[in-house]
Chains A and B, each alone.
Chain A
């Protein structure tokens, strides 16, 4: 049951450059999409979200793009910093009573100094 897919297990980027993390989804019932960041020995931390009625949301160095027709979203980090090195989870939430969130498998980002 892979409703949210992150096909790249890892990504390596030079400090100062752009990091682009990708995500695909299959469930048309998802109406909110989120990105979480996770450091070792910690729980996931919410980063940024986007509603399905938008195609872009920006917060500082982080921008999320949503392409509904392709069922694809991406997270851009510009400029990338060594402290951004972490696992990034794409997540999606359908409008259901419990508002559960379904997570992708994660992409490990390495930002090299």
Chain B
């Protein structure tokens, strides 16, 4: 079964520092997503990416966030200046485009901002 791989599994960073979360989606998938889950809360949509550009983003995804697919395989989420409230599990997902079939999620990166 193809997998979505996320690294690192846990990242601790100081407030104000930049972090890059990495994901390797499934190779023949067309759509890529980032979600986050703050401890005890719901899984929240951040951004969708298709055809090398952002197709949709949420209010959470402000100027501090950016995404890239630099080399056709990796899909990254960058947070420029982290805040305490950015602490969460960040999940990457990829999707082949069949609406009857859901996303494939990675295992997540736990980001802790101190």
Contact = CB atoms under 8 A, between A and B. Distances in A.
Are A and B part of the same complex? yes
Interface of A: 32, 34, 36, 41-47, 49, 51, 89, 91, 93, 96-106
Contacts of B107: 41-43
Contact of B100 (A32, A96, A99, A102): A32
Contacts, number: 67
Contact of B91 (A43, A51, A96, A99): A43
Chain B's interface size range is 20 to 34
B66 interface: no
Given A43-B106, A43-B107, A99 B42 contact: no
B105 interface: yes
Interface string B18-59: 000000000000010101000001111100101000011000
14 contacts: A34-B102, A36-B102, A43-B91, A44-B43, A89-B43, A91-B102, A93-B99, A97-B55, A99-B95, A99-B99, A100-B33, A100-B45, A103-B35, A104-B42
